[in-house]
Structure 1
Amino acid sequence: MFTKILIANRGEIACRVASTARRLGIRTVTVYSDADALSRHVQLCDEAVHIGGASPRESYLCADRILAAAQATGAQAIHPGYGFLSENEAFAQACVDAGIAFIGPPPSAIAAMGSKSAAKALMERAQVPLVPGYHGDHQDPAFLQAQADEIGYPVLIKASAGGGGKGMRLVQQSADFAAALASCQREAQASFGDAHVLIERYVTRPRHIEIQIFGDTHGHYVYLGERDCSVQRRHQKVLEEAPAPGMTPERRAQMGDAAIAAARSVGYVGAGTVEFICEQDGRFYFMEMNTRLQVEHPVTEAITGQDLVEWQLRVAAGEPLPLTQAQITFTGHAIEARICAENPAQQFLPATGTLQVLRTPICSTFAIAPVRIDSGVREGDAITPHYDSMIAKLIVHGEDRAAALSRLDTALSDLHITGLSHNVSFLRRVAATASFAQADLDTALIEREHSALFEAPSLPIAHAVAGALLRLQADAQNTTPHHAHRDPWSRTDHWRLHGDARRLVKLHIDGQTLAVMLDIQRDGTWQLSWDAVNVTVQPLSRTDHGGEQFEADVQGQRLRLSVYRHGNELDVFTSQGHARVQRIDPLRQSDEQAAGGRLTALMPGKVVAMLVSEGQQVKQGEALAVTEAMKMEHTLTAPHDGVVSAILCAVGDQLAEGVELLRLEATA
C-alpha cells in the first residue's frame, strides 16, 4: 500500500479522499490555487502545494505543476478525484512515465471511453445495446441536421468528449436544430476543448440508471449495484439513489453483465461507472462510461458498506479486489441530495457569495451512516465563480426507501444556509412530490412537477413574518454592549410605560412588500396585521444559541424558528421550510429602484454570443445574448417587447456581476 499520495483536486472530493487516506494511515499532499489558499481541503491534508491562479487553467488543469508537486513531496501516487484531469489520458500517461501511480484506469481505457462516439462504436462491437443515432466524425452542420432529420425528433445533441450534462441540447423540431447545435458546440469547446458532437434519438420518459463497476490488475471484475440518477436539471443530477426503484435481480444482473462487458473491452482497472438510458419498460441502452469515481458514489457505499476510495487505493497498489461478486450484498436504501449555490427560480443560475451561516444536521462521514455530509466548505467560506457551485452532498440511509425519504426531509430541514441562494428548499419540494415519493421517475420529473416545485412558497408568509419580527424585536430589546443592562431606556422596541406597544415594520418577502403593524399587548400576545391579514403570535421562549432560535405559537400552531440576521437581511427556518426576509429601512434609499431597460449580467462571466443588433425589434422571451459562467451557458432573454437601443459589450468580454450588457426600450 502507498504511504503518501497527492490529491489532484479540490473541494469535497479532496476532503473525501483525504478522509479515507487518513483512516488507512496514508499521508496526503494536496494542491491549491490562489482562490483556495485557506480552503478546507488544504487544512485537512498533511501537506499543500500552491500551483497557480484562481482559474482552473492556471492551476488544477496544469498537469506539469501537479506532477512537479508530487515529485517534490515524494508522493507515490496521484488521486485525480473527478472533474479537472481525472479523465485526461495524457495526464494519466504522464504519471506512468514519471513513475507515479495513477489512481484510476490505464490511459488506454480513458482514451477509449473519452470520446462518446468512439465508445459507442466500441460498445456496438461488444454487443452492448445502443440508442439509435449518429456517432461519426463528420461534423458539417448541414450534414448533422440531415442526420437528425432522418433519426426523427426529438433528438439530443451531445458533446462527444462531454460529461456532467455540459454540451447537451434537446431539440424538439428541425427549425431549432442549427441554433442548438451552435450553442452545444460552443459549450463543448469551452468545457472540453473539443467541439465534436453526436446525435441520438431522445428516449421518451427516460430513466438514467448507472452501474458501479470495479476492475483490478488481476483480471477480476465486479459490479456494486446500480444508482438511479433520473432527477436532473439542465441535464445535471439533483437527487441520486440506490438501489434503483423497481429494479429486479434479473435486470440488475443483465445491466451489470453489460457494464462489465464494456469494462473488459477496454482492459479497465479501478472504479468506473457505466451509464444507461432506460425505457420505462426496462429496456436499457449504453450512454457513456465515466472513467473515474462519480459524485454520487456515497449512495453505493451506503448500501454495500464498502469504502470505494479504499478500493481505488488498494487496486492502484496492485492488490486484488476486496470482494467477489457473490460476496457483494445490499442493505437498505440510500439517497443523495446535491446542495448547490444556485437559484432554482432563475433556471438554476449558479450563485456566488459567502456562507454566512452553514449549520448541518448531526451526521457522520462514515460510509454507512443514517446521515452523512461530504463537503469542502465551512461557515464563512465563499462560493466563487471560478469553480462549480456545489456546497455539499447530503446522503441519507434507511432500512427502505420510505425510511430514507423521511430521513432526507428531516435532514434537509435541519440544514441551514444563508448568505447566498441555494437549492435546499427546492430539494425538499422535489422529494415531497407525488412523482418522487411514488418512484414515478424520469429525467423530466422536474418539468412535470413544475407547479409544485416553483409556484408554492417555501414557508407560509405568516411564519416568515413572525420569525423576522421575533428576531428584530429581540435584537431591539438587547441593544447595549453584551446585553449588560437591559433597562427600558436602552431598548429600541417601542416599549411604553402605559399602554400597548405598537411598531410598524416594512418587510420584503417572496416578491411582496408588506407594511406590518405589530401590537404587543399587556399579556405578551402579539397581533400582526398587514393588508387584510391578521395573525396572532404568542412568543413562548428563546433558546440562547446566539439569539437565533425561538419558540412561538403562530395562529395556534407551535413552531420552533431559527432566525439568522445579517444587517437588514433575515433568514427564517422552520421544519416546514425557509424564507428570506428583507427589512426595509425607511431612513435608507430603497434598493428596489426600477432598472428600466437595463439588462445586466447576473453573475461574473464571459459574453459568448450576441444574438441581436442595435435597432432590432424583439419580443418578450426572445434570446438576446449568451454568457458563460461557472462552466455553464446562460441565455439572457427579453423581459418585454421592445427595441434594442444600445449594445454595450462584445463577444469575448469578461463581465463582472451587474455590468450592463444592453438596453431595451419597451414598445407600446
Structure 2
Amino acid sequence: MTELITGVDLVEQMIRSAWGEELNLTQKDLKIDGWAIESRIYAEDPYRGFLPSIGRLVRYDQPAEGEQDGYVVRNDSGVREGDEISMFYDPMIAKLCAWAPTREGAIDGMGRALEDTHLEGVGHNVPFLAAVMEQERFRSGVLSTSYIKDEFPDGFDGLPVAGFGRDVMIAAAAAMNEILAEQSGDPSDRFEWAVLIGGERQGIMVGYDDDESLVIDLDGDHTLTLTDIDWRPGLAQFKAVLADGAAEGRPFTAEVKRAPDGFDIRWRASKARVRVLAPHIADLYARLPEKEAADTSKLIQSPMPGLVVSINVKPGQAVQSGEAVAVIEAMKMQNILRAEHDGTVKTVSAAAGDSVAADDVLVEFE
C-alpha cells in the first residue's frame, strides 16, 4: 500500500540496506500521491466468527493488476491455485491493494477488485471485506478499534439483497437462463418470467433492443439493460455492464453457481438462491413448506477443521452449562468448546489426536 502512494519499493530498500548499501533517497524525496487501501484476504470464515478454514485452494481467480478504470490494483499473493491451506501456518492468502486520486475512489476500486476475486475450497473473508467497502461509516472515515463490534454486534451474516445488488442478481439470473436455453438448442419464446429471490417474487419481462443488449423490465418499476456479458456454462464468475434506465452502465462481477432449480449468486456481501420460473411454476413454489433446520442443541460440533487436543468428558458424565468439553487446535490457536446447557454425555465420537472437519460431531448429549 505504501508503495502505491510513494512510488518507493520498501522491500527493495530493505534488501539493499541489509546488503550494506546506503539509502538512495532522503525524507524530502518522499511525497504522497493519492490514496491507497489494503485488504488482507484470509482463509477465515466470517460467517463462523472468523474461525480459520483449511483445505485445498481449488479455485483462485485474481483481479487484473495495474491501471484500471480510474484506479490501480496491486495483489501481493503468497499462494497459487491448487495450494493447500493447512492448520499449521498463518492463513493469509493475499494483500490486495487499490489506489486512486481520492479516498472514495480507492474504496470504490477496492470494491471492484474484491468482486473480481474468486476463491473456492476454503472459507474466506472476501464477503466481509466487500461489506466494509459498502458501509457508510467506513466510507466516512469515522472509525475506532471497536468498529467490527459496533457494526456487526451479532456477528457477520452478509448484507441484505437490496438496491444495485438485487438488480445484479436478477439480471445475471435472467441472462444465464437465456444463455442456457439457447445453448441447449431449445430457446424459449417466453418473455414473461417470475424471479424468486431472497424470499420475494419479482415479475420481469425479458427482451432485446436494437443493439442486441438484454433488456429486463421489472414489472414497470424500472428497466435494466445488460451489455458486455461474459459468461458461459461452467464459469464461476458472471461479468457484465448493467444500466438502470438511461443511466450510464456500471460494470460488475458476480459469483455464480448453478443449482438444481436456479442459481446461487453472490455479489459482494449479498447472496441468494435465485430462480427464474414461468409464473405458474412460481405459484406452485409458494405452496411449498419451509424446510426446518436440524436440531443440533444436543450436539457439540467442531466449528472448524482442526486437530483435537483433548476431549474432557466421557459417556455418562453430567456436564454443566459453560463447562469445557473439548479443545480444538487450528492455525496456531487453541479453541475451547463449552457446553451450552446442562446435560449428560451420551456418546463421544472423537479422541485426542484426531483430525476433524467443520461440523463433525464430537460429543452428543442425552
5 Å-filtered alignment, 1:173-572, equals 299-364=1-66, 370-451=72-153, 454-455=156-157, 457=159, 459-460=161-162, 464=169, 467=172, 471=176, 474-475=179-180, 478-479=183-184, 486=185, 488=186, 523-529=190-196, 533-539=200-206, 540=214, 543-547=229-233, 548=235, 549=238, 562-565=254-257, 571-572=264-265
SS in structure 2 of the partner of residue 331 of structure 1: coil
Give the TM-score normalised by structure 1: 0.41
Q: In structure 2, do the counterparts of structure 1 residues 421 and 628 end up closer, same or farther at CA, with 3 Å as the change threshold?
A: same
**Structure with more contact order per residue of length (Cα contacts < 8 Å, sep ≥ 6):** 2
**Which structure 1 residue ranges, 5 or more long, are not aligned?**
1-298, 480-485, 496-521, 584-589
Amino acid in structure 1 at the alignment position of 2:265: V
Counterpart in 2 of 1:222? none
Does the 8 Å CA contact 1:607/1:653 hold for their aligned counterparts?
yes
5+ residue gaps, structure 2: 207-213, 215-225, 276-290
1:119-140 deviation per Cα after TM superposition (whole angstroms, max 9, x unaligned): xxxxxxxxxxxxxxxxxxxxxx
SS in 2 for 1:628: strand
The structure where helix makes up a greater share of residues is 1
In structure 2, give the amino acid aligned to 1:358: Y
Q: Deviations over 1:299-341 (max 9, x none)?
A: 2222222112211221122111222333333322221101122
Q: Is the 8 A contact 2:131 2:158 kept in 1?
A: no
Take 1:594 and 1:565, find their aligned partners in 2: how far apart are those partners?
28
Contact 2:49 2:156 in 1 (8 A): no
2:89 aligned counterpart, secondary structure: coil
Q: How big is each residue's C-alpha offset from its partner over 1:374-395, in whole Å with a ceiling of 9 and x where there is no partner?
A: 1133445443334332222111
1:12-91 → structure 2 map (5 Å cutoff): none
In the TM superposition, residue 582 of structure 1 has moved relative to its aligned partner by 9.7
Distance in 1 of aligned mates of 2:56 and 2:174: 24
Q: Are the counterparts in 1 of residues 5 and 34 from structure 2 also a CA contact under 8 Å?
A: yes
Paired letter, 2:309? V
Q: Within 1, Cα distance between the matches of 2:109 and 2:35?
A: 11
Q: 2:354 maps to which residue?
A: 654
Question: In the alignment, which residue of structure 1 is the partner of 2:346?
Answer: 645
Partner of residue 326, structure 2: 625
| Matched residue type, 1:359 | D
RMSD between aligned alpha carbons? Answer: 4.1
Aligned residue for 2:306?
A: 605
Identity level (%)? 33
Q: Given that residues 418 and 571 in structure 1 are in contact (C-alpha distance below 8 angstroms), is that contact kept between their aligned partners in structure 2?
A: no
Distance (whole Å) between structure 1 residues aligned to residue 255 and residue 112 of structure 2: 18
What CA distance in whole angstroms lies between the structure 1 residues aligned with 2:73 and 2:198? 43
Give the secondary-structure state (helix, strand or coil) at the position aligned to 1:454: coil
2:336 corresponding residue in structure 1 = 635
Question: C-alpha separation between the residues in 2 aligned to 1:597 and 1:470?
Answer: 44
Aligned residues: 316
Distance 1:454 1:647 in 2: 31
Aligned amino acid, residue 362 of structure 2: L
State the shift of 1:647 in Å. Answer: 3.2
Superposed CA deviations along residues 426-473 of structure 1, whole A, max 9, x for unmatched, are 112223334432333332211111159725535449665774575467
- After TM superposition, the score normalised by the length of structure 2 is 0.69
